[in-house]
Amino acid sequence: MPDHRPRARTRSALDPPLSFKVIRAVFLTLLTGFVALPVYVMITSSLKPLSDVAGAFRWIPSGLTVRPYIDIWHTVPLAKYFLNSLIVAGAATVCSVVIAVFAAYAVSRYRFRGKRLFTVTVLSTQMFPGILFLLPLFLIFVNIGNTTGVALYGSRGGLILTYLTFSLPFSIWMLIGYFDSVPRDLDEAATVDGCGPLGALFRVVVPAAVPGIVAVAVYAFMTAWGEVLFASVMTNDTTRTLAVGLQGYSTQNDVYWNQIMAASLVVSIPVVAGFLLLQRYLVAGLTAGAVK
Amino acid sequence: MTSVTTEGAGRLRRTATRVRGTGRVRRGALPYLLLLPALLLELLIHLVPMVMGILMSFRELTQFFIRDWSRAPWTGFDNYDLAVDVNRPVGEALLGSFLTTCLFTLLSVALCWFLGTAAAVFMQENFRGRGVLRALFLVPYALPVYAAVITWAFMFQRDNGLVNHVIHDQLGLGGAEHTFWLLGDNSFWALLIVSVWKGWPFAFLIVMAALQNIPKELYEAAALDGAGIWQQIRRITLPSVGAVNQVLILVLFLWTFNDFNTPFVLFGKSAPEAADLISIHIYQSSFVTWNFGTGSAMSVLLLLFLLLVTAVYLFLTSRGRRDADA
């Protein structure tokens, strides 16, 4: 369960000394500058005319224009890429969360042979580099296409399947932590009152773990939304996602930096907003495993 | 379990039956049924590709055999010989890429850990604007990689980038000739900056959560004993995050070592030699020069290395923890 205790924790009644305050102020100011610089560049450049971003960098735009925000939809089929990303990331999220709910419930609530093997396997697959799965999956998809005619390579379904390689183990792992934090007495009481095991899962455990499930879903979505490796190999013209599509703003003659920045901002806003809204739940889940 | 048919059987008895019933199910097939979808998918997306990857690494798998990889000639350990023979170009390049990745990972993890820990410690106490700052610090973590890294790529452009504008035009450093950041030796530093920018908020998040678990009384007691704030940080705050650091550093290491997205968006399919991280190197060996056999052998070697490092690290840290507990 997320921690709702107030975050502000006064360390001591004494006011910190000046040296501490000065060092803190200097450090946090520099760090803020470092963090905010690209955000500033992204926002201001997205409002600049092309002549501004093609020449030497300017801190202040010579003139503000919203043209890049109109042009981004025509220079490349951004709406199509957006839709593809939405479908792929959404489907990968739903699949992995639904399957992980069952698996995590089994691990959290039952004792069975092979449980430890299962959890260790799930945990260890998270450390494997994506490149390890990319080559074989690519060849499997190509070969399945050649022998059965089922076009997995280049299809959204194929891409969704590859995204499960990272979103499924992550979802299972996080949900085990969340389900463990739901008191066992609750679903045992539900079982006593006549619920089957699945009834207990869906009437008691899932509702109690809703914040955790939402956080896992947001995180899985975010990761899939930002994925580049599989997207760059496993997509074609019709299934291309944003990760690959944004490269279309660089042509042989021109790089439309103002449009790239505008498009980057547009594709970032949904996930950044979602993340900032739900980060408290996410932090609770991410740290539950680490702090224990 | 039979249903209760005896007349007068009370609720207690029924309850007892159900409890025993659950007990039976709990040892039975149900957990496996619940796991079945996950097991099938794990098999499909992890186990089969991994076994296939290992098999592929023993074959001469070039573009001619992509349509039917089972026809590729079996070559035994030739791919591995090629990958580790540092006297030949392929092995030499792989070793170079591996060493670059090690140095890069070391620096990136150290900087991410330092920035994250320092920021978390400094923001442990409440001050005006803390909430806004905290949200801002999480933005690099939340931004999609390609959007964030492409912005950095823009900033590192030679002629129209912010970095050269500030260094050369505004500060007058480094001469009149603009620096190449995404080509040549400087690309290592460009990549490192982007990686730290993207990675440190994770350390910040984890350490901040760990600091919330420190009992307030510890600080009060220390303050009563006359410990100043620096002493409190050194004696209470930093030791308290020790256990969390073990996991945090391992996770940062694995993510940084395996990172493909950042160099790929920054440099494209072929990174400059100075910033040729191992995952990009394998990608290039496989999909640019179309030699999947060698690429697979490199992947397997990478996996073995990661497993070894993780095992040694977990062994050392768990022993350290046992010693500390004793």
A269: chain B residues, CB-CB within 8 Å: none
The per-type count for chain B, helices as H runs and strands as E runs, is: 16, 0
Sign of CA dihedral B185, B191, B194, B196: negative
State yes or no: pLDDT of B307 exceeds 80: yes
Tell me which residues of chain A, numbers 93 to 122, contact chain B at a CB-CB cutoff of 8 Å: 99-100, 102-103, 105-107, 109-112, 115, 118, 121-122
State yes or no: pLDDT of B25 exceeds 80: no
Place of tokens 């890294």: B149
Q: What is the chain B residue with the closest CA to A284?
A: B209
Q: What is the chain B residue with the closest CA to A105?
A: B34
What value does the mean pLDDT of chain B take? 85
A1 touching B (Cβ < 8 Å): no
Q: What is the pLDDT of residue A285?
A: 65
Q: What is the pLDDT of residues B212-222, one digit of tens each?
A: 888 888 888 88
Distance from CA of A64 to the nearest CA of B (A): 18
A13 touching B (Cβ < 8 Å): yes
Place of tokens 């591995």: B80
Q: What is the pLDDT of residue A111?
A: 87
Closest Cβ–Cβ partner in B125, B137, B299 for A10 = B125
Q: What is the pLDDT of residue A8?
A: 43
Closest Cβ–Cβ partner in B27, B44, B165 for A56 = B165
DSSP string, A92-116: HHHHHHHHHHHHHHHHHH---TTHH
For residues B63 and A64, which has the higher predicted lDDT (pLDDT)?
A64
Q: What mean pLDDT do residues B282-296 have?
A: 87
Q: Return the amino acid letter for A22.
A: V
Q: What is the chain A residue with the closest CA to B295?
A: A135
- Beta carbons of A31 and B119 less than 8 Å apart: yes
A233 touching B (Cβ < 8 Å): yes
Q: What is the pLDDT of residues A188-220, one digit of tens each?
A: 888 888 888 888 888 888 988 888 898 899 889
- Beta carbons of A229 and B283 less than 8 Å apart: yes
- Beta carbons of A165 and B45 less than 8 Å apart: yes
A232 touching B (Cβ < 8 Å): yes
Tokens (6 digits) for A198: 């699945």
State yes or no: pLDDT of B203 exceeds 60: yes
Distance from CA of A137 to the nearest CA of B (A): 6
Nearest alpha-carbon partner for B279 in A245, A153, A135: A135
- Beta carbons of A139 and B25 less than 8 Å apart: no
CA distance B303 to B279: 11
Nearest alpha-carbon partner for B150 in B313, B256, B265, B51: B265
Using only C-alpha atoms, chain A has a radius of gyration, in whole angstroms, of: 24
- Beta carbons of B122 and A12 less than 8 Å apart: no
Distance from CA of A91 to the nearest CA of B (A): 15
Q: Return the amino acid letter for A16.
A: P
Distance from CA of A106 to the nearest CA of B (A): 5
The angle that helices B186-211 and A18-45 make with each other, rounded to 10 degrees, is: 120
- Beta carbons of A228 and B161 less than 8 Å apart: no
Tell me which residues of chain A, numbers 185 to 214, contact chain B at a CB-CB cutoff of 8 Å: 188, 191-192, 194, 197
For residues A233 and B11, which has the higher predicted lDDT (pLDDT)?
A233
Q: What is the pLDDT of residue B13?
A: 43
Tell me which residues of chain B, numbers 249 to 268, contact chain A at a CB-CB cutoff of 8 Å: 251, 254, 257-258, 260-261, 264-265
**Residue in A5, A11, A41 to test binding to B, most B beta-carbons within 10 Å:** A11
Q: What is the pLDDT of residue A17?
A: 83
What value does the mean pLDDT of chain A take? 86
B133 touching A (Cβ < 8 Å): yes
CA distance A118 to B42: 10
Q: What is the pLDDT of residue A99?
A: 96
Q: What is the pLDDT of residue A184?
A: 86
Distance from CA of A238 to the nearest CA of B (A): 20
Q: What is the pLDDT of residue B24?
A: 41
Closest Cβ–Cβ partner in B15, B56, B155 for A192 = B15
A215 touching B (Cβ < 8 Å): no
The total of other beta-carbon atoms located within 10 Å of residue B90's CB is 20
**Residue in A50, A127, A195 to test binding to B, most B beta-carbons within 10 Å:** A127
CA distance A134 to A130: 6
CB A197 within 8 A of CB B22: yes
B291 DSSP β-pair partners? B62
Residues of chain A with pLDDT under 50: 1, 3, 5-13, 290-292
Q: What is the pLDDT of residues B103-157, one digit of tens each?
A: 999 999 999 999 999 999 999 888 888 889 999 999 999 999 999 999 999 999 9
Using only C-alpha atoms, chain B has a radius of gyration, in whole angstroms, of: 27
Distance from CA of B74 to the nearest CA of A (A): 17
Q: What mean pLDDT do residues B291-311 have?
A: 91
Q: What is the pLDDT of residues B258-273, one digit of tens each?
A: 999 999 999 988 889 9
A133 touching B (Cβ < 8 Å): yes
Tell me which residues of chain A, numbers 58 to 97, contact chain B at a CB-CB cutoff of 8 Å: none
B148 touching A (Cβ < 8 Å): yes
Q: What is the pLDDT of residue B125?
A: 84
